[in-house]
Amino acid sequence: MQLGMIGLGRMGANMAQRLMQSGHEVVGLDAQPTVREVFAQQGGRSVDSAAKLVQQLPTPRVVWLMLPAGVITQTMIDELLPLLEPGDTLVDGGNSFYQDSMRRSREYAQHQLNYLDCGTSGGIWGLTEGYCLMIGGEQAPVERLTPIFQALAPSPDRGWAHVGPAGAGHFSKMVHNGIEYGMMQALAEGFSILSKKTELDLDVHQIADLWRNGSVVRSWLLDLTASALKDNPGLKGIAPYVRDSGEGRWAVAEAIALDVSAPVITLALLERLRSREPDSYGDKLLAAMRNSFGGHAFIPDTSQPFKPLD
Amino acid sequence: MQLGMIGLGRMGANMAQRLMQSGHEVVGLDAQPTVREVFAQQGGRSVDSAAKLVQQLPTPRVVWLMLPAGVITQTMIDELLPLLEPGDTLVDGGNSFYQDSMRRSREYAQHQLNYLDCGTSGGIWGLTEGYCLMIGGEQAPVERLTPIFQALAPSPDRGWAHVGPAGAGHFSKMVHNGIEYGMMQALAEGFSILSKKTELDLDVHQIADLWRNGSVVRSWLLDLTASALKDNPGLKGIAPYVRDSGEGRWAVAEAIALDVSAPVITLALLERLRSREPDSYGDKLLAAMRNSFGGHAFIPDTSQPFKPLD
Amino acid sequence: MQLGMIGLGRMGANMAQRLMQSGHEVVGLDAQPTVREVFAQQGGRSVDSAAKLVQQLPTPRVVWLMLPAGVITQTMIDELLPLLEPGDTLVDGGNSFYQDSMRRSREYAQHQLNYLDCGTSGGIWGLTEGYCLMIGGEQAPVERLTPIFQALAPSPDRGWAHVGPAGAGHFSKMVHNGIEYGMMQALAEGFSILSKKTELDLDVHQIADLWRNGSVVRSWLLDLTASALKDNPGLKGIAPYVRDSGEGRWAVAEAIALDVSAPVITLALLERLRSREPDSYGDKLLAAMRNSFGGHAFIPDTSQPFKPLD
Amino acid sequence: MQLGMIGLGRMGANMAQRLMQSGHEVVGLDAQPTVREVFAQQGGRSVDSAAKLVQQLPTPRVVWLMLPAGVITQTMIDELLPLLEPGDTLVDGGNSFYQDSMRRSREYAQHQLNYLDCGTSGGIWGLTEGYCLMIGGEQAPVERLTPIFQALAPSPDRGWAHVGPAGAGHFSKMVHNGIEYGMMQALAEGFSILSKKTELDLDVHQIADLWRNGSVVRSWLLDLTASALKDNPGLKGIAPYVRDSGEGRWAVAEAIALDVSAPVITLALLERLRSREPDSYGDKLLAAMRNSFGGHAFIPDTSQPFKPLD
């Protein structure tokens, strides 16, 4: 099939490449000339505007978005709306909020345009291992795009699925990422405990690698952990600063909206916030309160490493 | 090799069988006649006392404990001490507290007896897939028992390791189980959110199965989740009552003792406690407090399903 | 002064009464005839429509809303907008979301109407003890309504304050309630621990009462706790079912939006959700997973009290 | 009455002074000469050994310990045992673990010595406001020491109580401190949210002071918060480093041992641990994992303030 891929960043370029490796034709669109050049070197054809992209695709068109969620995605969706024709299909493969996808799907439907929300997992490993695709939307476009999904997934009959109506794909991906946060945090805490037990002089990489075989916690995230610890078990040179994308926040908010208590997913998110707040106002206030009621000295705030006074 | 297996429950019997399948000879010991009969039907030889077990094994002996941690394990260790001879090796493959293992190892060493603590993961699937073995203790007995570890592990060179001195095996297993609690809870919360999103009518089994291929959360626990949801996506007939073994508690206590904040592992444990406290005193007190300050009606406690009054 | 009080529920009626006790005149509005009758018996004058209320008040008018947040409050605000005249002041004393208050304030300002958001704490005790008022909005209407605030507060110069621009009142109240959740949960957990330590046979009421004098945890919520435990230390007849109003949820969402890790406020909310989910899907899935990997029996779900099987 | 006070630190010296103000005679013991000098200037008589202290007290003696829990307290208890005579009473007013107090009480009873465990709350404010005393032990010595308790408490009939058998005093105090941790953390989080909402430009001290009157969260800890924020609302010069004494840890461990889920008390403890771990291994591992699966850059660890790269 022919497909237009909008956004040739890490994810989009890899997905385009995997599609081309399966014999599909991809026209890429990216605003940055250098990105387009790299894409050309990988054998891809690219354009520099949505209008050109649409012109180059046969109808009914298939356009796949791989853009940062939010304003950038919305802007492109708005730009594409008048360019596309009834029967065309737009797939949002990014990490959009599922309620945005439900709304966009309705808007597109009013113009006889198909809209699919496709949660995409796999990261930079997807190029070689395939992507896990959670697809929401109408049945007909999902059927028409099946060869695309089969090429992107790890195998033609595994790793992609039509999980429900519009929004279901991004909803599933949102929950997936919530689970991912929880699992990552569980692993991070466990290896933190191991690393602090200095009297046993444990080799964290050896243990990570050991658990990959036969243990209850064997998992892809453990594989990555073992890999990260292999050459750098002390994690030297890495700041304890953990970003979050929107999806963990949405998962936490959605759980609360559904009256589901999800403490582990929630705490995994909060720990990331905490990692980025080294100069915590709350902790200062606790130190000040302890000083007020117990006369406990608090520690002067210096740029030196923390050192208790008493 | 020849090995005495003490405790022919689910774990011990399966491990004995896996050893026998690799050509090792196993003499089993279990207090219950019916258990010994089942073991005999599986081709195993068994005895009914520690003294007989020791008599039937060639020196230097290898005895493997697969008993519930705590009093039962300690009693057997005490009973074996005068029966064993210098050079013999006792392996505790159960879920003992690592500090107990450190102490027992010292006591055995005073009698020239070898003591290994072997954290064993794999559950009932270990028989066919192999066990993950985390071994603590001296180097010499680990070397001598290598054929045993190789037979129990998923493959001779993967899934078993000598991770450190006495206690290191059970310490690693304790942390492993803490991570397991966190991962399980993350999955449970995620699927709970999916199941509550009724407007999208998601198929929880389809999604679990989908994620097994290419997604970031692919893992053995997800495989089990998919399996559990296959025939019973509504989880009918299962009480929301989650036990815990000692290891999660020890992991939480150890994290605190090491000044490591491990919120996800900790909350995963607390959630299990919470599942077993349906008639929570704390929640009643909250309801009573709300009534006191806001005049909010609380709900009469009946055996009927909860139903808000106002 | 003269003031129109819309909503004569528990809070509104008490506040009107406290105002009348200070010599202010209050015209009440409530949709329910029985509520108006009760109000009349307390010496209040009431009407049955917003139009009548507005007619009966001298300009510049002061109208105070004490309605459930959300649709009911919004509907009344919309109804009042064309009835009020430039210079009139509307106070929302309910628990509205602060962003709604910011928007409503802007809309009212376009019509030269003053809008104040007034977070109100104190519950049913406010009638006798006074209310704590957190006021957001412009300076001029706050000054004009000062006699009202002074009458409602515990004392004329304490317990009310103009805390900032539009939204600041409800924002502060939202955070206040988040703290309230956390404090209540801390107390609930503590008394739960005391009540479970049966070997020491502690008298929970005695301890609550004891701590009210000189201890670090002395607080109004502890006073209420002591009161709740006085005649019913076992909390018999109270279901472990804890509601939440919107404010805890908003506080949690706002903390995350501000990148503030607020684990205690968050967990206090989740515990309330949890109290209302006795048949937890997540816990069932955990039980099913344990069964899958360990062969651990799970407990059949019956309407009988939980009883472990093995 | 006459009483020997062992440990003339912040707490012991203040308590001795409060007792002397009520007409009791106190002989103080402290190892440090400078401490004894300060005590002498406050009008107290002091000695430099336990033997001298015991000699100076009339029988039946009353000796009060106000020492750091653990080794120091145990050493003094062991030293006193042979010096005291049947009928004497030792009170441990420090923060000992309640199980230690139960054991010590049994040991003292074997020598016909009375042992009381007295949880003491109030901090440096106790001197003027009185201490809250939770007393465990036998009835007779509690009755004999009643004048002491009455003098230390905020008033003769309020703020002290015999709460149960040996251990009950320190158990109650342990739970009290758990609640204290939770309340403090709730306040810290709330004020952190307020301080981060820069668009509303809130005055955190004004709000703290406002809430002290009529609000649901009014409490002594809020009084202290308001005081701490008065001159330093930005908490400048205070490091975000929060210590914990043993009692929070014991409360968390005890809750788990009793199968009580106490997430708020637990998280309040973990947050303190977290405040002292700015260079978190777990967070580094999370950053490394994100880099591994998503190609997300992690931030080089420098001594510069954190600054995201992409």
- pLDDT over threshold 80, residue C306: no
Please tell me the distance from the alpha carbon of residue B120 to that of residue B132, in angstroms, as a whole number: 6
Question: Please, what is the end-to-end C-alpha distance for chain A in angstroms?
Answer: 71
Examine the residue annotation and report whether C307 is marked as an active-site residue of this protein.
no
How many structural domains compose chain D? Answer: 2
Could you tell me if residue A303 is inside a domain? Answer: no
Which CATH number characterizes residue A97's domain? 3.40.50.720
State ipTM.
Answer: 0.94
Is D153 found in the same domain as D209? no
* pLDDT-derived band at A124, boundaries 50, 70, 90: confident
Please tell me the distance from the alpha carbon of residue D252 to that of residue A27, in angstroms, as a whole number: 59
For the stretch C30-58, pLDDT in tens is 999 999 999 999 889 999 999 999 999 99
The answer to whether the CB of B89 falls within 8 A of the CB of B113 is: yes
Examine the residue annotation and report whether A236 is marked as an active-site residue of this protein.
no
CA angle D79, D61, D32 (to 5 degrees): 50
Q: What is the pLDDT of residue D219?
A: 97
Report CB contact under 8 Å: A259, C276: yes
For the stretch A208-222, pLDDT in tens is 999 999 999 999 999
Report CB contact under 8 Å: D273, B267: no
- pLDDT over threshold 60, residue C292: yes
- Residue-number span of the structural domain to which D242 is assigned: 173-274
Please tell me the distance from the alpha carbon of residue C234 to that of residue B301, in angstroms, as a whole number: 13
For the stretch B83-105, pLDDT in tens is 999 999 999 999 999 999 999 99
CA C59, chain centre distance (Å): 31
Could you tell me if residue A69 is inside a domain? Answer: yes
Q: What is the pLDDT of residue B49?
A: 96
Q: What is the pLDDT of residue B58?
A: 97
- pLDDT over threshold 70, residue B34: yes
For the stretch A14-57, pLDDT in tens is 999 999 999 999 999 999 999 999 999 988 999 999 999 999 99
* Percent with pLDDT over 70 in chain B: 95
Report CB contact under 8 Å: B200, A158: no
Q: In the block, which residue shows the tokens 């009606």?
A: B297
Is D43 found in the same domain as D161? yes
* pLDDT-derived band at A294, boundaries 50, 70, 90: confident
Q: What is the pLDDT of residue C294?
A: 78
> Using a CB-CB distance cutoff of 8 angstroms, which residues of chain D are in contact with residue B261?
270-271, 273-274, 277, 280
Could you tell me if residue B228 is inside a domain? Answer: yes
> Using a CB-CB distance cutoff of 8 angstroms, which residues of chain B are in contact with residue C189?
282
> What mean pLDDT value characterizes chain B?
94
Report CB contact under 8 Å: B273, D282: no
Among C184, C242, C287, the residue with its CB nearest the CB of B238 is C287
Q: Please count the residue pairs, one from chain B and one from chain D, whose beta carbons lie less than 8 angstroms apart.
A: 52
* pLDDT-derived band at C26, boundaries 50, 70, 90: very high
| Span B44-50, average pLDDT | 94
For the stretch C156-206, pLDDT in tens is 999 999 999 999 999 999 999 999 999 999 999 999 999 999 999 999 999
Instruction: Give the closest-approach CA distance of B236 to chain C in angstroms.
Output: 8
Report CB contact under 8 Å: C285, B235: yes
- pLDDT over threshold 50, residue C288: yes
- pLDDT over threshold 80, residue A125: yes
- pLDDT over threshold 50, residue B63: yes
Catalytic residues of D: 173, 180
Could you tell me if residue B55 is inside a domain? Answer: yes
Q: Please count the residue pairs, one from chain A and one from chain B, whose beta carbons lie less than 8 angstroms apart.
A: 282
> What mean pLDDT value characterizes chain C?
94
Is C58 found in the same domain as C24? yes
Is C157 found in the same domain as C18? yes
For the stretch A145-167, pLDDT in tens is 999 999 999 999 999 999 999 99
Catalytic residues of B: 173, 180
Cis ω before C86 (30° cut-off from 0):
no
Comparing CA positions, the residue from C289, C3, C282 lying closest to residue C147 is C3
Among A182, A217, A218, the residue with its CB nearest the CB of B189 is A182
* pLDDT-derived band at B300, boundaries 50, 70, 90: low
Could you tell me if residue B12 is inside a domain? Answer: yes
| Span B151-180, average pLDDT | 98
Is D119 found in the same domain as D228? no
Q: What is the pTM of this model?
A: 0.95
Angle between helix axes D168-196 and D263-275 (nearest 10 degrees) is 70
Q: What is the pLDDT of residue D42?
A: 86
Provide residues of D within 8 Å CB-CB of chain B.
216, 249, 252-253, 256, 259-263, 266-267, 269-271, 273-274, 276-277, 280, 282, 293
Report CB contact under 8 Å: A263, C273: no
| Span B120-137, average pLDDT | 94
* pLDDT-derived band at B294, boundaries 50, 70, 90: confident
The answer to whether the CB of A16 falls within 8 A of the CB of A8 is: yes
Among A123, A192, A284, the residue with its CB nearest the CB of D293 is A123
Comparing CA positions, the residue from D108, D72, D74 lying closest to residue D90 is D108
> Using a CB-CB distance cutoff of 8 angstroms, which residues of chain A are in contact with residue B213?
130, 132, 153-155, 158-159
Is C157 found in the same domain as C9? yes
> What mean pLDDT value characterizes chain A?
94
> Using a CB-CB distance cutoff of 8 angstroms, which residues of chain B are in contact with residue D260?
273, 277, 282
For the stretch A252-281, pLDDT in tens is 999 999 999 999 999 999 999 999 998 999
3-state DSSP of chain B? CEEEEECCCHHHHHHHHHHHHCCCEEEEECCCHHHHHHHHHCCCEEECCHHHHHHHCCCCCEEEECCCCCHHHHHHHHHHCCCCCCCCEEEECCCCCHHHHHHHHHHHHCCCCEEEEEEEECHHHHHHHCCEEEEECCHHHHHHCHHHHHHHCCECCECEEEEECCCHHHHHHHHHHHHHHHHHHHHHHHHHHHHHCHHHCCCHHHHHHHHCCCCCCCEHHHHHHHHHHHCCCCCCCECCCCCCCHHHHHHHHHHHHCCCCCHHHHHHHHHHHHHCCCCCHHHHHHHHHHHHHHCCCCCECCCCCCCCCC
Lateral strand order in the sheet of C62-65: C45-47, C25-29, C2-6, C62-65, C89-92, C114-121, C132-136, C160-164
Neighbours of chain B (3+ CB pairs under 8 A): A, C, D
Is B269 found in the same domain as B214? yes
Report CB contact under 8 Å: C283, B301: no
Q: Please count the residue pairs, one from chain C and one from chain D, whose beta carbons lie less than 8 angstroms apart.
A: 281
Is A237 found in the same domain as A209? yes
Q: What is the pLDDT of residue A231?
A: 87
Report CB contact under 8 Å: A286, D232: no
Could you tell me if residue C306 is inside a domain? Answer: no
Could you tell me if residue D308 is inside a domain? Answer: no
Could you tell me if residue A304 is inside a domain? Answer: no
Neighbours of chain D (3+ CB pairs under 8 A): A, B, C
Is B28 found in the same domain as B158? yes
- pLDDT over threshold 70, residue C303: no
Number of Cβ within 10 Å of residue D203's Cβ equals 17
Is C180 found in the same domain as C123? no
Among D112, D133, D165, residue at a domain's last position: D165
Which CATH number characterizes residue A209's domain? 1.10.1040.10
Is B191 found in the same domain as B125? no
Among C123, C241, C303, the residue with its CB nearest the CB of B287 is C241
Q: What per-residue string of b and e applies to D64-91 under the rule 16 or more CB within 10 Å gives b? A: bbbbebeeebeebbeebeebbeeebbbb
List, for chain D, all residue ranges whose pLDDT scores fall below the cut of 70. Answer: 297-310
Among B159, B171, B202, the residue with its CB nearest the CB of A210 is B159
Is D141 found in the same domain as D11? yes
